[in-house]
Chains A and B, each alone.
Chain A
Amino acid sequence: MSNFQLFGSIISTCLLGAASIASAAGETVQQDNTCFESRMGLSQVQQREIQPGVMNVKCSPTTGGVLFWGDPFDGTIPMGDMSVEADYSHEEAVVKPREPQIDRNKLLTICSMACHNGEYVPYPENKLARPLKMHKDIVPNSMQLKHGKGAIWCLDCHHAATRTKLIDHYGNEISFNQPQKLCGKCHGQVYRSWRNGIHGKRIGMWQKGGKKRWWTCTECHNPHDVEQGNRNSGFAQLIPEPAPVLPKGMSNADHERGHGEQAH
């Protein structure tokens, strides 16, 4: 009885948020001049004028992807300290905080207070995988998490008690703004590359000592779905920009699709 009640209340609290996630993912530039940077739906930018005649971003009219940053450091905060000495230490390094993106529908804060407060949903006793009835929009099947090939589960990354935070090996909280500290726990090689600037993405000034905006892990990757599926890539699929205009005199590019023996 109490279980049923609990379940119902969770659903009613979260449905609203889930619905708004779905609609956010479908939004493109047409509606409210919202574009996305790398991850559609989870790296949104509102288009606005930052100086007379200069927009903060220019967006693709067909896909809504950002094509141009009028100010590459718009809306960023200092990257903050990192446990390992890295190149950026003598450069100004900034990041765009992830929390507003992840929590843009207030799902994270509402759920952490209304649901995962230790009463509605008791704090889990261990990190073992078990079927979840909730969050199927993020993880369709909690027993087959598309990350870590079965070796990890939600609570290896998410703080069991403080749902607005991630967690490191020692049980310390990690901000959603600094996912690299979490991801680097396992992906050391990539983490090193990222610090060296050869993995991941940075924008701003290429020059040594120049200010750079660093992209953090979750700005490009979806940690709940990184295993290479049909797309054969660690990135979510995107709508590509339109193909070039065909050369004068050509009505189609069908000849590109034939190979080999059909050549003649």
Chain B
Amino acid sequence: MKRFIQFIIDFLRSGFSGGILFWAWMLFLSFFIMLWGYGEFVQIRDGMIVTGLNDQVSWGFYLANFVFMVGVAAAAVTVVFPAYVYKHHELHRIVVLGEMLAIAAVVMCLLFVTAHMGRPDRLWHIFPVIGIFNWPHAMLTWDVIVLTGYLVLNIIGGFYYLYKKYADTELNKTFYLSVVYIAIVWALSIHTVTAFLINTMPARPMWFHSMMPIKFITTAFAAGPSLIIIVFLLVRRFTPLKIADEAFHMLSQIIVWCLGIALFLTLSEIVTELYPSTEHSLGLQYLMFGHHGLNTLVPFFWTAMALMIGGFILLLIPKVRKNLLVLPFICLAVFIGIYIEKGMGLMLPGVTPTPIGEFAEYTPSNIEFMVVGGIWAIGFFVLTVLIKGAIGVLLGDVRYTESESRTVRGEQARAATT
């Protein structure tokens, strides 16, 4: 037990140590986290009237980010799956970083959901035993289960591995691998359930199709690895942890295939909806072409399409895909493209027009920007700490020693040089 507490302390110490760049980055994030605090404070004090939401568009920026981040969380599987199922050696070495990313992403998801709630003070109403948990009827309760489950699985899987490495003891393979394999399936479930959350409502025809879960997963497995590639390249640039090129090649290949399928599904959706042009396609038409002068979403949609299609075409070219100087920029484009398409580009036309045909245009308020920006900052904050801590362990810099003189040796010196 003492050893475990020591592990936590050492892990955090490693996570919070770094040079001037590190502290500048953390300070930068803290600034946005403060804004989040302020935004949440105002929202809880005055109610959600401080957002741009209304009865016509009652789901907006928060849920859009939520849906997108669930995908990113699930995408940790793109590191874990090849590592364990296909025994991809290079990914296997850094698999724990994927799990850290998943933890940070799920934390963000939970914060987005809390921000979306009108009465966060009554959150306890949903807890089983003390509240009422409308399971299995309410899809939201499924989402609660899979998200917290996924968080727990990743914490157990990731930190068990790190702790064993830290203590330099043998992994219990059966235990560890079963956690890993459950987490792989679970990762699919979180995004599937999130899709079910919105596609089980015939009142919202744009979402009401069975393609939603697979579309969610493919876009997630394109956006997620894009972020992972960027993070890994940063890790390789700023820490001594070695990540082989093959790991990036593997991930970029996953992006190509998943992005390709995602684009194909989008095309199928567009043809299916627009050919007959029933009233059910009004949401998609509004997104793509606007509606009687309500055109806010139109440029966003086409930008997203351009980014995704452009990214896909570039990634198809092996020379480009394997160029690690160009790759992060393509990844960024894909990430942003999917963020638009799957975030606001999915949420807003889904609820517009209303089931009784009213169109209303929605713009997030400043408070919403503060809260969302702040949650992203929290996500990056958590991710930075977790990754730095994990790298410390992976490199062997953070190691358990019987004596109290623990070592975070080299770490400080190395970080200072960056």
A262 adjacent to chain B (CB < 8 Å): yes
Interface of A is mostly: loop
* Smallest beta-carbon distance A247→chain B, Å: 4
B397 adjacent to chain A (CB < 8 Å): no
Of A248, A255, A257, A262, which contacts B294 at CB under 8 A?
Answer: A255
Residues of A close to B57: CB separation below 8 A = 247
Say whether B56 contacts A255, CB under 8 Å: no
Task: Mark each residue of chain A from 219 to 248: 1 if its CB lies under 8 Å from any CB of chain B, else 0.
Answer: 000000000000000000000000000011
What is the CA–CA distance of A250 and B52 in the complex, to the nearest angstrom? 11
Of A248, A255, A262, A264, which contacts B359 at CB under 8 A?
Answer: A255
Residues of A close to B363: CB separation below 8 A = 249
Say whether A255 contacts B293, CB under 8 Å: yes
What is the CA–CA distance of A255 and B57 in the complex, to the nearest angstrom? 17
Residues of B close to A258: CB separation below 8 A = 292-293
Say whether A254 contacts B292, CB under 8 Å: yes
Of B289, B290, B362, which contacts A249 at CB under 8 A?
Answer: B362
Residues of A close to B358: CB separation below 8 A = 247
> Contact residues of A with B, CB < 8 Å?
247-250, 254-258, 262-264
Of chain A, the residue at the smallest CB distance from B364 is: A249
Say whether A247 contacts B56, CB under 8 Å: yes
Residues of B close to A264: CB separation below 8 A = 285, 289-290
| Chain B stretch 32-52: residues in CB contact (< 8 A) with chain A | 52
What is the CA–CA distance of A258 and B361 in the complex, to the nearest angstrom? 17
Residues of B close to A249: CB separation below 8 A = 52, 54, 360-363
Query: For the side of the interface on B, what is the size category?
Result: 10 to 19
B322 adjacent to chain A (CB < 8 Å): no
Identify the interface centre among B53, B360, B362: most chain A CB within 10 Å of its CB.
B360
14 residue pairs A–B, Cβ–Cβ below 8 Å: A247-B54, A247-B56, A248-B54, A249-B361, A249-B363, A250-B360, A254-B293, A255-B291, A255-B293, A256-B292, A257-B292, A263-B291, A264-B285, A264-B289
What is the CA–CA distance of A199 and B144 in the complex, to the nearest angstrom? 51
What is the CA–CA distance of A172 and B293 in the complex, to the nearest angstrom? 65
Of B55, B290, B291, B292, which contacts A247 at CB under 8 A?
Answer: B55
* Smallest beta-carbon distance B357→chain A, Å: 9
* Smallest beta-carbon distance B288→chain A, Å: 9
Residues of A close to B53: CB separation below 8 A = 248
What is the CA–CA distance of A248 and B54 in the complex, to the nearest angstrom? 6
Residues of B close to A257: CB separation below 8 A = 292
What is the CA–CA distance of A254 and B291 in the complex, to the nearest angstrom? 11
* Smallest beta-carbon distance B358→chain A, Å: 8
* Smallest beta-carbon distance A93→chain B, Å: 37
Q: Which 7 A-B pairs have the closest CB atoms?
A: A255-B292, A247-B360, A258-B292, A248-B54, A247-B54, A247-B56, A264-B289
Task: Mark each residue of chain B from 348 to 379: 1 if its CB lies under 8 Å from any CB of chain A, else 0.
Answer: 00000000001111110000000000000000
What is the CA–CA distance of A257 and B293 in the complex, to the nearest angstrom? 11
Residues of B close to A263: CB separation below 8 A = 285, 291-292
Residues of A close to B54: CB separation below 8 A = 247-249
* Smallest beta-carbon distance A87→chain B, Å: 35
What is the CA–CA distance of A248 and B361 in the complex, to the nearest angstrom? 8
Of B285, B292, B360, B362, which contacts A262 at CB under 8 A?
Answer: B292
